[in-house]
Amino acid sequence: MSRFVVDPDWLPFDRDPTRPTFRVPAHAVDAHCHVFGPAHRFPFAPERKYTPCDAPKESLWKLRDFLGFERNVIVQATCHGADNSALVDALADADGLARGVATVRASITDDELRGLDAAGVRGVRFNFVRRLVDALPRDTLSGIAKRVAALGWHVVIYFEAEELPEHYEFFSTLPVTVVVDHMGRPDVSRDPDGPEFGLFLRLLRENGNIWSKVSCPERLSKSGPPHYTDVVPFARRVVEEFPDRVLWGTDWPHPNMKSHMPDDGVLVDFIPQIAVSMEAQRKLLVDNPMRLYWPEERK
């Protein structure tokens, strides 16, 4: 039994998703998902901003197989703070079919970083979303970025669109590949040709090392499921302009969703709306994630 009490408004993940109509290409990678706990083995961090239900690795593997994916990239969730044990445990169980993105503090030793690398971690996440974390100072983040660059890792950044102006210069200076979560969380009620999303597109145009996940229609959409129509022009624009720098992920188990809990099969069916050709789909789901996470065995 866990001593943690799940947040009263927590929406649990859907244990019975629809089988998607869209068939993902062979060797597809779900490049953004999480594991939570189980809390009795991997306690949540004292500094966490939410307490989720358990979402263990076994459930993730089951979903991966059901949706037709081959591999996962597991992103350390903020509810586990900088204790990457649940992530490392999942990677150890994945038979080489999962890679990780960790959260680290400046105090992490080089030996610990090498240990994470051996476990399959290939990146660190810098989170600027205030409801999720107390962000670290920029010089600390720069120091971490330099250290992980030596391992060939990349940096994942999570921020909301209104925060981009204040971070734009900083993001442009990061000395590694940078992957933006969920297209920088645009307000999709605005014009995709307007200044807010324009600044995000400019960030990618001016910095050839910056990639984007075109994930999370369920989080961004105001029109809602099943088609998440209002997100399509944003995600499709990014896929079409930067076909070699986009990734896609389910975001299972969908932390902090309040409007609804998405059906992961429906999310997979969103993919052909934003990556229209088979070539774009293959780049998004196979070539790009393989290049970033499994460069040693590119398909």
Q: Give catalytic residues, as residue numbers.
A: 251
Tally the residues of the chain.
299
Query: C-beta of 30: minimal distance to ligand 0GY in Å?
Result: 13
**Contact range with ligand 0GY by CB under 6 A, out of 110-118, 166-174, 251-259, 264-272:** 251-259
Spell out, one character per residue from 114 to 143, where the chain touches ligand 0GY: x when CB under 6 A holds, - when not.
Answer: ------------------x-----------
**Contact range with ligand 0GY by CB under 6 A, out of 77-85, 137-145, 225-233, 260-268:** 77-85
Cα torsion 138, 110, 150, 155 to 10°: value is: -40
Structure tokens at 274: 């934003």
Query: C-beta of 245: minimal distance to ligand 0GY in Å?
Result: 18
Query: C-beta of 61: minimal distance to ligand 0GY in Å?
Result: 18
**Contact range with ligand 0GY by CB under 6 A, out of 9-17, 59-67, 76-84, 149-157:** 76-84
Among 30, 54, 70, 251, binds ligand 0GY (CB under 6 A): 251
Cα torsion 139, 142, 147, 150 to 10°: value is: -150
Nearer to ligand 0GY, 36 or 153 (CB): 36
Distance CA 161, CA 180 (A): 11
Distance CA 110, CA 34 (A): 25
Spell out, one character per residue from 155 to 184, where the chain touches ligand 0GY: x when CB under 6 A holds, - when not.
Answer: --------------------------x---
Among 256, 272, 273, 291, binds ligand 0GY (CB under 6 A): 256
Based on the shown chain and the rule CB under 6 A, indicate whether residue 78 belongs to the binding site for ligand 0GY: yes
Nearer to ligand 0GY, 127 or 281 (CB): 127
DSSP state of 158: E
Contact footprint for ligand 0GY (CB under 6 A): 34, 77-79, 132, 181, 251, 255-256
